[in-house]
Amino acid sequence: MGLVDKLKDQFLDVIEFEDVSNKLVVYKFKRNESNNEIKQGSKVIVREGQKAAFVKGGKLADIMNPGTYTLNTENFPILSSLQAFPFMFTSPVISDVYFISTRQFIDNNWATKNPIIMRDSEFKMARIRAFGKFAFRISDVEIFMKEVFGSQGLVLTFDIINYLSAMVTETFANIVSECNIPVLEFASNYKKFSNNIQERINEDSTKLGIEFSNIIIENVSLPEEVEKLIDEQSGIGMAGQDMQSFMQYQISPEHERCCKQKGGLAGLGAGMALGKTMIKNIDDVNSKQEIKNPNSKADQLRELKSLLDEGILTQEEFDEEKKKILTQ
């Protein structure tokens, strides 16, 4: 090797990038020189979880997989065809080099900014909110560079997370609106929803060179006032099975309040009387609810007649309910 060759080797580039932040999706390689010249014979090192893309004159050229390469016409055929190489292919190459992370970016948050209004068999109309996490990766570097990246210097995860989060939220809203699953059964269907969302959203995201590798639903919630009503309904449901337990459920707060007031025992007696009245009313409600969901019209009519005989229903109420049954 002559002196000229030795001097030339000393000025060859080593083109590489290591992301220690785990926040960079795309990084543009920077040189000390003001121009974008890459010397022939320079080394290009692409680490695992990366790809390197060469862009010349605004046109995407070669894309390199993990490995170590020497810049020449054999390893970079497209770039070589875009570059005129006089002087026995020894002139420098003018090109931008971008490193694209292809690993998974995990633990990204998504959430509904506004309530989603949906039809529900239990509540007729329900307003729900939801949140969770998702993971994504760049699945097609060429498509991503053309459709999303453009000519930016770099792309951080949070530069595209808001957009991806909006995609998850929109797809979630569409899925739950179509599923016909009651809101109260959502929790047991989180995995099903997640799989359906991931499958549908990837139909669109792959057109951008992005793949959602995982979507997690952590919580779906109703408005606070509705959740309170559900708690109260749970107490009423308990009354139908265990009267004593319901009395304790309903009267214990009253007991604590009355005992702190003047005439506490009298207040407690009134509270217990109120509790008994409520239980009787709940029995009436439960009985009427049972009328609406029996097995057959004959069973409904027999149950209706027994309620009339026991004095729970008036003749007017009996006639009205009987008419409803016969016209079903």
In this structure, what CATH number is given to the domain that contains residue 186?
3.30.479.30
Cα separation, 79 vs 71, in Å, equals 10
> Which pLDDT score is estimated for 155?
79
Of 209, 204, 208, 219, the residue nearest 167 (C-alpha): 204
pLDDT in tens, 55-93: 887 888 889 999 998 877 666 655 555 555 444 445 667
Whole-number pLDDT of residue 95? 79
- Of 194, 222, 250, which closes a domain? 222
Whether residue 235 is found in the same domain as residue 322: no
195 shares a domain with 121: yes
Q: Do 29 and 109 lie in a common domain?
A: no
Looking at per-residue pLDDT, the higher value among 125 and 242 belongs to 125
| Residue ranges making up the domain that contains 315 | 294-328
Question: 86 and 9, same structural domain?
Answer: yes
- The reply to whether 95 and 163 lie within a common domain is no
- Rounded to an integer, the average pLDDT of 301-315 is 69
Flag whether pLDDT at 212 surpasses 80: yes
pLDDT digits (tens, 9 = 90+) for 126-156: 899 999 999 999 999 999 998 888 766 677 8
Domain count, the chain: 4
Same domain for 150 and 72, yes or no, is: no
Lowest mean pLDDT of 23-37, 100-114, 191-205, name the range.
23-37
Average pLDDT, the chain: 75
> Given 101, 122, 137, which residue is the final one in a domain?
101
Predicted pLDDT at 302: 76
Measured on CA atoms in the order 125, 130, 135, 140, is the torsion positive or negative?
A: positive
44 and 115 co-located in one domain: no
Q: What is the dihedral of CA 309, 275, 233, 240, to 10 degrees?
A: -40
pLDDT per residue over 159-210, tens digit each? 888 899 999 999 999 999 888 888 889 989 999 999 999 999 999 999 999 9
Please indicate, yes or no, whether residues 268 and 312 belong to a single structural domain of this protein. no
Determine the pLDDT at residue 46.
Answer: 94
Nearest-angstrom CA–CA distance, 328 and 323: 9
What's the pLDDT score for residue 201?
Answer: 96
Distances in whole angstroms, Cα of residue 260 to Cα of each of 89, 248, 250, 255, 271: 96, 18, 17, 9, 13
pLDDT at 291: 35
Regarding whether 49 and 136 lie in a shared domain, the answer is no
Under DSSP, is residue 99 helix (H, G, I), strand (E, B) or coil? strand
pLDDT of residue 39: 77
Asked whether residue 186 falls in the same domain as residue 258, the answer is no
115 plus 213 within the same structural domain: yes
